[in-house]
Structure 1
Amino acid sequence: MISTLMGRTSVRPLFLAALLPLFIAGCSLPKVTEHTHDHGHDHDHGHEHGEEEESSVTLWTDQLEGHVEFGHLDAGTPQEFTLHITRLDSGLPVDAGDAVLQWKKESDGSTLDVRVPAVRPGNYKTTVTFPAPGHWDLTVKLSLADGEVQLIFPDLDIHDHGHTDGPDAVHDHAHDQEEGHDHDHDHGEDHDHDHDHGDDSDHVHADGTVYASSEDVPGNAIFFSKEQQWVLPLVTAQAFRGGLVERYRIPATVQETPHSRAALTAPLSGRLLPPEGGSFPGIGEEVEEGQVLAGVLPTLQGGEALARESNIHSLQGQRTELAVQAAQARGDAERARALVQQHASALDRAERLQVAKAGSQREVEEQRSALASAQALLREAEQTEAQVRKALAALPTLESREEEGVAAWIRSPITGRITRLAAGPGTQVDGGQMLIEVVNADEVLIEGQVPEVLAPALSRPLHACYELPAFPGELFEMEAPEGEREPWLQPQVKEESRTVPLIFYTRNQEERLRIGMTLTLLADGKKEEDALQIPHSALVDENGIPTVYVMLTGEHFQKRPIRTGISDGVMTEVLDGLQEGDRVVVRGAYAVRLAGLAGGGVGSAHVH
């Protein structure tokens, strides 16, 4: 239960009667952490109404952080509230439009409702006047893109300083006096704020949300405003318990498997030709297993070369002669067709004249004989033309003669991509010369170099993931191809490096890995079943001492040296210095460190 006590916000204990002797002795309420902090300065707890002492309450849910700031809360006078709402996953302010703030009094259920527009994303300010003292719960309602959310800040203690009269005022005033807190006079004594950090259950709601008040802030806390945090942005995470596997960082390289690269060579000396009916392949082109990529025409020497050249000239002469004959036969056929047409017309005229008794039978017979002769000439010309065309078509081309001399086709033995071409079509190549390289990187081999002292510490069976320089902190699992051997730690130590090769086969369907690439293997070692752990990114090296910055409230942090245990590269075990539920800075820790070095403590300027 949160109450405003002597101008500051504190946690009201569940067993108040047991704590009365502490108040009589001049001690403050127990604080909700597990470390003892001596503020080392005097506190004047007198509250004159012209003096405002700022308090704050911070609440964390699974998704959001709510931070409310206010002065000494009195009934009957305007009270200013400043609210900051932050997304825990990104550290950025929410963009939710208006917020609905409702204060509800515990004793009679009376409420105050205010709709507050955002001053800027995540930042709200409003002023309310409480009609009566007592314990009021503040509920903040927001409409986010992923649904409606609400934050509940319980038990804000509104005091009566003579501004209101009535049963509630009398009750709460008497309640304060029973607890030994007279707010109208100066205590005039030093208070040693030793914090008994025992049970912190008062800081946990039934729904699992966690809250803290500015009363929990020790004197050496570092102030870092919400506006500064949002610029970074600053991100925090809670320490929690769970299983953790130690992982060793091992340098490694990506290599091809024995069957993932093929170098195609010329089977004999000759001239390189493209595949039959296709084009010569290019770099980057995908090829299939068994696909013909090129051919080699053997090089002819001495008499064979002269005979081949003579054959080529003879072939060219025959082609020319047949082409001339074909043209002549085509002309003869055209002339014969014209003559047939002429005699057919003359025969038709002679027959019409005979019917009209103007012509003789002899003229008709002469035209029929002439037409038959012309038709015979046409048939002869067409036959000659057809024979010449057939002979020309049967004559082999120069290209077909070259293909008859190809001794071997070059085929790809694997499916993959062409990564190298050493020669192009028409190039004279020597037997055994490397011509084409094909690589398939769908499956690769990762080889790490394990220092010999770590080899016995690796888990059995062997397991590891890898981290790429381009994605620090992001771990990728390996998937062994079907039929490949299990991960293997070689039995011998390399003499020159004193390391043991560790080999993993893995699929590479997303083409994330490139042959020859360097990366880091994170090989499994021992496992802790119930380790208190925090993100590794929270650690700051302070002269060799691992240190974290703990968020105490929304704007206050504490530097905390810790002792670490095992780590998997992402999470690190904490052996001492933190408790489960402590919230540490995982992004922006160095900015908080600089604020602490600059003297940004609790008394730092705070302007919103």
Structure 2
Amino acid sequence: MVERVRVAARVRAKPGFSAAILAPVSGQLVAPSGRELPQPGKRVEAGRLLALLRPNFSEAAARVAQADGEFNTAKAALDQAEAAYTRTKKLAVEEAKSPRELQEAELAYQSAKARYAAAAGLLATFKQAGGVAASDTPLLMELRAPIAGVLNSMAAGPGEVVSANQPVFTVLNPESVWIEASIPEASIARLSTGKDALIEMAGQPGQFLSIHGDGRGQLVSLGLEVDLATRTVPLIYEWKNPDGMLRVGQSVTLHVETTRAEEALAIPSAAIVEEEGRPIAFVQLAGETFEKRDVTLGIRDGNWVQVLSGIREGERVVTKGAYAVRLASVSTAIPAHGHVH
């Protein structure tokens, strides 16, 4: 038997498996030469050229001038730092410079290299598909897919204008998703070490998918901090989703394992009634003769409940009409067992 806590959950994109491609400046979308813009639902590879962006003239000119200026400044600083480092290294060999001075020169050189690489990368974004734009050709910027996946959305088509920092495309890789739930603080201590769970999807009540079944899922993390507002802890599972069974944003129900009993005596929960705040059940002795038993209950698994004491294996209990049998026993003042007509 397995007892579980039932919590609402949501499917979300696994980090690194979803990306938005933003317009770096405002401008007009242009299809790559000889190709059309990809449509939603189409698979794309990482680095795939999705579209070109023709920036507004004034903004493009300003950005090019800025990038070019930063590149030239970084190049001059790199040349100067490299020369200083080479000179200091030579003098250090002759013991004319201290190890500390050599270390400082090397650090300055490495910092200059990093600034130069960043400036070169910025300038390289302003280019045509075939190379850097010449003065007599329109400036174009490339919009490429940063990850492999499926084109999930596009905000504009060829010829349409987009604004700076506007998401133009979104790419989603649905082959692996996260299922995230919030576990009530009171249930955390009851979670089993395995923390297995069942997925129940909306519209399919009573049908379950095991997280750990067939090796499709695994526990990612159980949060270390309780949310002060909701008094819950985040629980995250990863689910291999090559068939697209789960969709990002979808609401599901998780039944998270709390306790497990490998060998247990269990009866239907419908057989349990309460009498003065304690659980009892009625055992059939013979025909229409029943005996009332105080029972000690353990874990619950769906419509079944574990019995720790009060009933022995093989005994028959009343599951339908158990409450009516209790009323009959009370009305005839039978303390432990009775005969019901």
TM-score (norm 2): 0.58
Q: Aligned to 2:148, which of 415, 424, 441?
A: 415
Distance of aligned partners of 1:425 and 1:563 in 2 relative to their CA distance in 1, 3 Å threshold: farther
Corresponding residue for residue 86 of structure 1: none
Deviations 1:123-164 (A, max 9, x none): xxxxxxxxxxxxxxxxxxxxxxxxxxxxxxxxxxxxxxxxxx
Quick check: 1:445 aligned with 2:202? no
Q: Aligned to 1:286, which of 43, 47, 72?
A: 43
Corresponding residue for residue 510 of structure 1: 243
- The answer to whether the 8 A contact 1:275-1:294 is kept is yes
Distance of aligned partners of 1:461 and 1:411 in 2 relative to their CA distance in 1, 3 Å threshold: same
Quick check: 1:270 aligned with 2:27? yes
* Equivalent position amino acid for 1:253 in 2: R
Corresponding residue for residue 108 of structure 2: none
Corresponding residue for residue 489 of structure 1: 222
Corresponding residue for residue 160 of structure 2: 427
Shift of residue 479, structure 1, vs aligned partner = 4.7
* Equivalent position amino acid for 1:436 in 2: F
Matching of residues 200-219 of structure 1 within 5 Å:
none
- The answer to whether the 8 A contact 1:463-1:523 is kept is yes
Corresponding residue for residue 85 of structure 2: none
Distance of aligned partners of 1:533 and 1:437 in 2 relative to their CA distance in 1, 3 Å threshold: same
- The answer to whether the 8 A contact 1:443-1:481 is kept is no
Shift of residue 458, structure 1, vs aligned partner = 1.6
Distance of aligned partners of 1:440 and 1:559 in 2 relative to their CA distance in 1, 3 Å threshold: farther
Deviations 1:23-72 (A, max 9, x none): xxxxxxxxxxxxxxxxxxxxxxxxxxxxxxxxxxxxxxxxxxxxxxxxxx
Distance of aligned partners of 1:292 and 1:487 in 2 relative to their CA distance in 1, 3 Å threshold: same
Whole-angstrom distance in 2 between the partners of 1:563 and 1:579: 12
- The answer to whether the 8 A contact 1:479-1:507 is kept is no
Deviations 1:312-352 (A, max 9, x none): xxxxxxxxxxxxxxxxxxxxxxxxxxxxxxxxxxxxxxxxx
Shift of residue 525, structure 1, vs aligned partner = 2.7
Matching of residues 284-433 of structure 1 within 5 Å:
284-301=41-58, 405-433=138-166
Report % sequence identity. 35
Deviations 1:63-119 (A, max 9, x none): xxxxxxxxxxxxxxxxxxxxxxxxxxxxxxxxxxxxxxxxxxxxxxxxxxxxxxxxx
- The answer to whether the 8 A contact 2:284-2:291 is kept is no
- The answer to whether the 8 A contact 2:279-2:296 is kept is yes
Matching of residues 452-531 of structure 1 within 5 Å:
452-479=185-212, 486-531=219-264
Q: For residue 282 of structure 1, give the secondary structure of its aligned residue in structure 2.
A: coil
Shift of residue 566, structure 1, vs aligned partner = 0.4
Q: Aligned to 2:14, which of 249, 257, 267?
A: 257
Whole-angstrom distance in 1 between the partners of 2:12 and 2:264: 36
Shift of residue 559, structure 1, vs aligned partner = 12
Distance of aligned partners of 1:428 and 1:581 in 2 relative to their CA distance in 1, 3 Å threshold: same
Whole-angstrom distance in 2 between the partners of 1:291 and 1:480: 35
Shift of residue 437, structure 1, vs aligned partner = 1.5
TM-score (norm 1): 0.34
Q: Relative contact order: is structure 1 or structure 2 higher (C-alpha 8 Å, sep ≥ 6)?
A: 2
* Equivalent position amino acid for 2:211 in 1: M
* Equivalent position amino acid for 1:464 in 2: A
Matching of residues 215-230 of structure 1 within 5 Å:
none
Deviations 1:419-476 (A, max 9, x none): 3221111102233221112222221112222222222222224333333343333332
Whole-angstrom distance in 2 between the partners of 1:512 and 1:541: 41
Q: For residue 189 of structure 2, give the secondary structure of its aligned residue in structure 1.
A: helix
Shift of residue 550, structure 1, vs aligned partner = 9.3
Deviations 1:176-233 (A, max 9, x none): xxxxxxxxxxxxxxxxxxxxxxxxxxxxxxxxxxxxxxxxxxxxxxxxxxxxxxxxxx
Corresponding residue for residue 86 of structure 2: none
- The answer to whether the 8 A contact 1:465-1:522 is kept is yes
Shift of residue 539, structure 1, vs aligned partner = 6.5
Shift of residue 548, structure 1, vs aligned partner = 8.7
The gaps in structure 1 that reach 5 residues or longer are: 1-243, 305-400, 597-601, 604-608
Q: For residue 487 of structure 1, give the secondary structure of its aligned residue in structure 2.
A: strand
Whole-angstrom distance in 1 between the partners of 2:220 and 2:280: 37
* Equivalent position amino acid for 2:17 in 1: S
Shift of residue 272, structure 1, vs aligned partner = 0.5
| RMSD (CA atoms) | 4.4
Shift of residue 477, structure 1, vs aligned partner = 1.7
Whole-angstrom distance in 1 between the partners of 2:249 and 2:199: 15
* Equivalent position amino acid for 1:263 in 2: A
Shift of residue 263, structure 1, vs aligned partner = 0.9
* Equivalent position amino acid for 1:267 in 2: P
Distance of aligned partners of 1:471 and 1:449 in 2 relative to their CA distance in 1, 3 Å threshold: same
Whole-angstrom distance in 1 between the partners of 2:256 and 2:224: 17
The gaps in structure 2 that reach 5 residues or longer are: 62-133, 326-339
Distance of aligned partners of 1:270 and 1:560 in 2 relative to their CA distance in 1, 3 Å threshold: farther
Distance of aligned partners of 1:480 and 1:575 in 2 relative to their CA distance in 1, 3 Å threshold: closer
Q: How many residues matched?
A: 251
- The answer to whether the 8 A contact 2:43-2:149 is kept is yes
- The answer to whether the 8 A contact 2:54-2:139 is kept is yes
Deviations 1:378-420 (A, max 9, x none): xxxxxxxxxxxxxxxxxxxxxxx9x953522222222333332
Distance of aligned partners of 1:481 and 1:428 in 2 relative to their CA distance in 1, 3 Å threshold: farther
Whole-angstrom distance in 1 between the partners of 2:23 and 2:193: 47
Whole-angstrom distance in 2 between the partners of 1:539 and 1:278: 69
* Equivalent position amino acid for 1:278 in 2: R
Q: Aligned to 1:573, which of 296, 301, 306?
A: 306
Deviations 1:512-563 (A, max 9, x none): 3232333332223333232112566x6687899889999999xx9x999976
